[in-house]
Amino acid sequence: MNADVQPLRGKLQPPSYLDVYLRVLSALMLRDMRSRFGGNYWGYLVQVLWPCAHLGIITGIMAFRGINPPIIGDPALFVATGALPALAFQYISREVMKGYMVHKPLTYFPQVKKFDTIIARCLVEIVSSFLGLMLVLAVLLCFGIDPVPGDIFQAVTGYLAAIGLGVGVGFINVGICSAFPGWTIGYMAVTLTLYLSSGVYFVASYMPSQIYYYMKWNPVTQLIEWIRLGYDPSLDVQIDYFYIFVCIFGTLTAGLLMERFVVRAQQ
């Protein structure tokens, strides 16, 4: 009898806190992936394919107008080195905020915390960014373009820095939109301005020195130069790595403080 009771007690043990937390995160992530377009996983594929479609459209316009890239050589690779880090920052910083708003009703369940919804969307967006990057690299290879940078460490760390900045700004956006929901629309204008003025389709260092000085205060501009420096070491740029890391950790710290004292204070 005792031998039968012991296994039964082991089976009836409640799941640990870590198990429950991981299940909540996985459920939120799966819900994120299904709720993007059309209510199924095929809709999530649209977001992964968008960077590739974006690259194809811009490259096609450059080819149609006969525009040659000022550096790197190939138009597709030139656009990719600018668009991919800018889009990674833009999508993560925006979608983390939208994810919080979408999942907010789920926080009425005691197992789901507001912080969990933010972390789940961060993880989904980071995975999406890398999937989009891998797809773009595969497409470039199919067209006979070598996407491997001369300095792989330089390019990879620049892309990781873009993701880190996106997460930090995303946390700040969550804090703002928790108090002012209209910020979800206002931030779209901010990201569009940053995208067009960060040097995605041009080389920022070729601008007049007076303009370039102010462009350097935009961390996205320096992130693009960081990655392009991995492809063209002769590029005449000076990257302020300390400033970029201050922006990353500063926004992340500010965002976490806002999550603690602003987001949790909202009913």
- Across 29-38, 118-127, 171-180, 181-190, least confident range: 29-38
Q: Which of 62-71, 137-146, 154-163 has the lowest mean pLDDT?
A: 62-71
Helix, strand, coil percentages in the chain from 3-state DSSP, rounded to 5: 75, 0, 25
* CB half-sphere exposure, 33, CA atoms < 13 A: 16
Confidence category of residue 27, pLDDT binned at 50, 70, 90:
confident
Residue 2, pLDDT > 70, answer: no
Read off the pLDDT of each residue in 23-44 and give the average, rounded to a whole number: 75
Please, which pLDDT band fits residue 267 given cuts at 50, 70 and 90? low
The whole-number pLDDT of residue 1 equals 47
Sign of the C-alpha dihedral, residues 6, 11, 13, 18?
positive
Q: How confident is the model at residue 222, as a pLDDT? A: 94
Q: What mean pLDDT is reported for the chain? A: 85
- Enter the pTM of the model: 0.88
More confident residue, 11 or 92: 92
Mean pLDDT across 234-257: 93
Instruction: Say what the pLDDT of residue 45 is.
Output: 75
pLDDT at 160: 95
Token digits of residue 57: 């459209």
| pLDDT at res. 107 | 80
- Model confidence at 224, in pLDDT bands (50, 70, 90)? very high
Using CB atoms within 10 A of its CB, is residue 80 exposed (0-12), middle (13-18) or buried (19+)? buried
